Structure 1
Amino acid sequence: MNSDLFYSDATKLAEMIRTREVSPVEVVQAHLDRIAAVDPKVNAVVTVADGALEVARAAERAVLAGEELGALHGVPFSVKDSIDTAGVLTQRGSPIFKGRVPDIDATSVARLKKAGGILLAKTNLPEFSYWIESDNLLSGRSNNPWDLGRTPGGSSGGESAAIAAGMSPLGLGTDLAISVRGPAAQTGITSLKATHGRVPMTGIWPRAPRRFWHVGPMARSVRDLALAHSLLAGPDGADGYSSVPRGFDAGTGASPDRPLRVGWLVEPGFGPIDPEVAATVQAAAEALKGLGCFVEPVRIPALERDFALDVFNRLHVMEMKPAFAEATAGRGKDELYKMARTMLSLPDTSMKDYIEAEQAAERLRDGYADYFSRYDALITPVLPIPAHKHGVTQFTINGQIVDATYLQGATVPLNVTGLPGLSIRFGTSQEGLPINVQLVASWLAESTILHLAALLEAASPVRDLHPNI
């Protein structure tokens, strides 16, 4: 099996196809072979797209004919199974949607196809995309390719596991509170949650609460994130939150005329953080300092006043619970897994608490606005711990006992505020598990964190590591 193909990033594959070093058929077949070889252990792929090889043959003919080729021409990609794919099962991790086949691609899928990408597979997720592990009654539990006894995260855990294990070079995930960045951290890949609304959510379920949901690329390299973001961003005329012109960016770009000002923050504000994770954040900060950035430790008072996870919990239940109730109406309990049952059993937030949470969310936005008036970027943890064992619901982190929702402590502030965040590996735990850091920029400043991530990637002590599976 050719690991040079299935562990290459999408940018390299596209270049090799363009220069006729390899054919789209060879690339797609290599990934299909990889799925057959390792997915029985990982269980990341829920559906292999019919016709992928046929599309690859057409892509090969276009290369040989000298036709104009898109940026992803002939490159396979995978998609989380909450994202609609025309003619291919999209079952949302639930028996309620078993056999569901959409007629139309989600906007994000259509844009990757327009660039020449070939839909390869759909990947696993928790029921209704709602939990930090990818497990459901329909397609079972996904495993982490670094340690099969651990989770690849949720809700885009199947996607992260597929990319980490070489089953796909590029994919799409969705993110409500953690779900693109957290799974990337648990499997050591890269991912980008752009500013809210940058990439239309059209064709993705659930949409409620719309102001917190994002769709974004997951990949093996920063340059793949940058390429995918350039293809995915921009309004589609259907998602009202997506209104910023495709080419607009408020960031500093790759050639700032002054040293970038970067703060790093571990605690307080995110809940307890494991010392190994904290050390990795500091190491990434020091690496950027050595590369010419102005770097210093910071605090953001707004995060200390209003714990973003608590704010999120008080807001999203009121908006997400009715969507779950509608989807499950008339269904038996045997069709519902634990997270749908949990959501439906939660008490409604009182109007007083809801309004107070709305005001807290505004304070958090103001706090970040103040921070970004003085700094270009922020480095934080993604997760407080490396990938955990399956089914654990309580953790002791840095001496403090917390429940599993605390894994979202450093990621959910960006959903509450809509800020962009990028997850990139920069360390390894004593148990050999990946540790990622999170890069944050101001609204619509994706270029800043893509630039900083590229610097970290080049300086990374763990570059080009792959799980032994």
Structure 2
Amino acid sequence: MNTQQSKTDPVYYQDATRLAELIRNREISPVEVVKAHLDRIEAVNAKVNAIVTISDTALNAARAAEAAVLRGDALGPLHGVPFTAKDSIDTAKLLTQRGSPIFKGRTPDTDATTVARLKNAGGILIGKTNLPEFSYWIESNNLLSGRTNNPWDLQLSPGGSSGGESAAVAAGMSPLGLGTDLAISVRGHAALTGIVALKATHGSIPMTGIWPRAPRRFWHVGPMARTIRDLQLAYSVLAGPDGQDGFSSSTLHVDAGIGNITNKKLRIGWLVEPGLGPIDPEIGIAVAAAADALKQLGHSVEQVRIPVLEEEFALDYYVKLHMMEMKPAMRAAIAGQPDELVFKYVNAVLAYAETTFEDYIAAEQSAERLRDGFAAYFQQYDALITPVLPVISHGHDIETIEPKGQKESIFLLQSATVPLNITGLPGVSVRFGTSKTGLPINVQVVGSWLAESTILHIASQLEATSTDTVLYPSI
């Protein structure tokens, strides 16, 4: 959608790349940019409830950034550009309360690695965004800061774990944000609000300074924005080991993508069903349309089936794995706390059936087979196009969804995204369609391990060919 973005859009709807360019060229000051976003927060956040803490130092940081421009200092790629971060991500001297009264008033001394890297690139942190208690649910609601609404329709949810971030970016309160993704939460919640998000290869972006860390091998942190070029810029700043996260060990500039791909013909498969559970027809149409658009651009595109997805339903064994690994950390967090401080989501997770040791081992073996299956797939193809979600939207506080008219557990929302958390594969959520009711539809571009450049390139091509005309919610 960056090709459709107008230079006449309000400041708060310009993307981060454009804002950085305007600031470097002295066409706008960092103070104007930050103030425009703070004013936007004041104007719409009462309805959306995406921002839970506003930085009281953001304007001072903007003044310092403006002075650096006027002095002719060397400027970082995000110099003077505001950003937000999910409230599970540590921010020095700014509240990080994890969506729970248990952590009310918690103020870290240091920034998470991701926050520090955006700041070092010149970014200005303007606020923290809402989340479910402890980051664990499919809706951003908690006892401390309440419920976040979808700016496209306040009666709908923007999603769980990173829903506050997706809503903030979609509503123009922030051009760039940091979310986390255990099973769905940057990609799925970007889809619910029509923005873009990247879940990079597991370990590419360090999780240092982000809670909870259990189960570490499935957690990801990633950028959320309104344009693919912003994801590309953010990823270039965020990726690389920090010497603290043991999963983040790849050499800084490793890229297993296929190199200079501007005019290269790629091998791309696309899949709606079977293997991902029931998918709403409108979403299936959008995936097929994205595949056709890529074919029209000269790529080799075909509908595929991935046997390992059909043989065992990934969501089933993923739940057995991550529930067993996560529960001890959650129990430790609430130990000794009054019952009234613990919201229903944590209680629901803790009440979920225990995984036996035998089932855990079986699930682990299923996960290994899934990795092998995708390894085989990527011997033949450069990318895969799939749905992000099985439904276009969902309401607040629901327990079921109905893709194709079939009543299913709300957990099915994760069916198309969770295989990437199990395997660590990278995926981009990018808009490519609008529903009959006027809501955005995203598709997911999946690549092989460390092939972020390939999927970001494909996503940028989809973005450029999209015919969607209503890019922003009319809040």
Give the TM interval when normalised to the shorter protein. over 0.9
Q: Are 2:325 and 1:338 aligned?
A: no
Q: Are 2:54 and 1:48 aligned?
A: yes
Match of 2:453 in 1: 447
Secondary structure of residue in 1 paired with 2:137: coil
Point out where structure 1 has 5 or more consecutive residues left out of the alignment.
none
Secondary structure of residue in 1 paired with 2:284: helix
Match of 1:149 in 2: 155
2:427 corresponds, among 416, 421, 435, to: 421
1:89 corresponds, among 92, 95, 98, to: 95
Secondary structure of residue in 1 paired with 2:390: coil
Match of 1:219 in 2: 225
Q: CA offsets, 1:287-338, max 9 Å, x none? A: 0000111000000000011211011101011110000000000011111111
Residues in 2 aligned to 1:133 and 1:326: alpha-carbon distance in whole angstroms: 23
Residues in 1 aligned to 2:365 and 2:147: alpha-carbon distance in whole angstroms: 38
Residues in 2 aligned to 1:49 and 1:118: alpha-carbon distance in whole angstroms: 10
Match of 1:350 in 2: 356
Q: Which amino acid aligns with 1:366?
A: D
Deviation at 1:461, TM superposition (A): 1.1
Secondary structure of residue in 2 paired with 1:262: strand
Aligned residue pair count: 468
Residues in 1 aligned to 2:161 and 2:49: alpha-carbon distance in whole angstroms: 14
Match of 1:174 in 2: 180
- Tell me if the contact between 2:394 and 2:401 (Cα under 8 Å) persists in the aligned partners: no
Q: Which amino acid aligns with 2:443?
A: V
- Tell me if the contact between 1:253 and 1:451 (Cα under 8 Å) persists in the aligned partners: no
Q: Which amino acid aligns with 1:430?
A: K
- Tell me if the contact between 1:193 and 1:421 (Cα under 8 Å) persists in the aligned partners: yes
Match of 2:78 in 1: 72
Q: Are 2:412 and 1:406 aligned?
A: yes
- Tell me if the contact between 1:23 and 1:60 (Cα under 8 Å) persists in the aligned partners: yes
- Tell me if the contact between 1:76 and 1:120 (Cα under 8 Å) persists in the aligned partners: yes
Match of 2:5 in 1: none
2:256 corresponds, among 250, 254, 257, to: 250
- Tell me if the contact between 2:426 and 2:448 (Cα under 8 Å) persists in the aligned partners: yes
Point out where structure 2 has 5 or more consecutive residues left out of the alignment.
1-7
Residues in 2 aligned to 1:266 and 1:421: alpha-carbon distance in whole angstroms: 15
Match of 1:135 in 2: 141
2:375 corresponds, among 359, 369, 377, to: 369
Deviation at 1:240, TM superposition (A): 0.3
Deviation at 1:340, TM superposition (A): 0.6
Residues in 1 aligned to 2:339 and 2:347: alpha-carbon distance in whole angstroms: 8
- Tell me if the contact between 2:52 and 2:127 (Cα under 8 Å) persists in the aligned partners: yes
Q: Are 2:206 and 1:196 aligned?
A: no
C-alpha change, 1:48 and 1:10, in structure 2 (3 Å) is: same
Residues in 2 aligned to 1:311 and 1:463: alpha-carbon distance in whole angstroms: 40
- Tell me if the contact between 1:43 and 1:141 (Cα under 8 Å) persists in the aligned partners: yes
Residues in 2 aligned to 1:293 and 1:283: alpha-carbon distance in whole angstroms: 14
Tell me whether 311-320 or 458-467 shows the greater mean CA deviation: 458-467
Please tell me the root mean square deviation across aligned C-alpha atoms, in Å: 1.0
Residues in 1 aligned to 2:324 and 2:33: alpha-carbon distance in whole angstroms: 45
1:285 corresponds, among 291, 295, 303, to: 291
Match of 2:467 in 1: 461
- Tell me if the contact between 2:320 and 2:360 (Cα under 8 Å) persists in the aligned partners: yes
Residues in 2 aligned to 1:211 and 1:431: alpha-carbon distance in whole angstroms: 38
Residues in 2 aligned to 1:190 and 1:317: alpha-carbon distance in whole angstroms: 28
Q: Which amino acid aligns with 1:249?
A: D
Match of 1:300 in 2: 306
Percent of aligned pairs with the same amino acid: 68
Q: What is the TM-score of this pair, normalised by structure 2? A: 0.97
Secondary structure of residue in 1 paired with 2:277: coil
Residues in 2 aligned to 1:252 and 1:224: alpha-carbon distance in whole angstroms: 21
- Tell me if the contact between 1:425 and 1:436 (Cα under 8 Å) persists in the aligned partners: yes
Match of 1:386 in 2: 392
Match of 2:4 in 1: none
- Tell me if the contact between 1:372 and 1:442 (Cα under 8 Å) persists in the aligned partners: yes
Deviation at 1:254, TM superposition (A): 4.4
Residues in 2 aligned to 1:3 and 1:157: alpha-carbon distance in whole angstroms: 24
Match of 1:11 in 2: 17
Q: CA offsets, 1:94-136, max 9 Å, x none? A: 0000000000000000000000000011000001101111000
Q: What is the TM-score of this pair, normalised by structure 1? A: 0.99
Deviation at 1:253, TM superposition (A): 3.4
Secondary structure of residue in 2 paired with 1:36: helix
Residues in 1 aligned to 2:203 and 2:451: alpha-carbon distance in whole angstroms: 13
Deviation at 1:347, TM superposition (A): 2.9
Q: CA offsets, 1:262-291, max 9 Å, x none? A: 000000111100000000000000000001
Q: Which amino acid aligns with 1:6?
A: Y
1:164 corresponds, among 170, 175, 190, to: 170
- Tell me if the contact between 1:60 and 1:74 (Cα under 8 Å) persists in the aligned partners: yes
Q: Which amino acid aligns with 2:427?
A: G
- Tell me if the contact between 2:218 and 2:421 (Cα under 8 Å) persists in the aligned partners: yes
Q: Are 2:57 and 1:61 aligned?
A: no
Q: Which segments of structure 1 move beyond 3 Å, counting only runs of 4 or more?
A: none
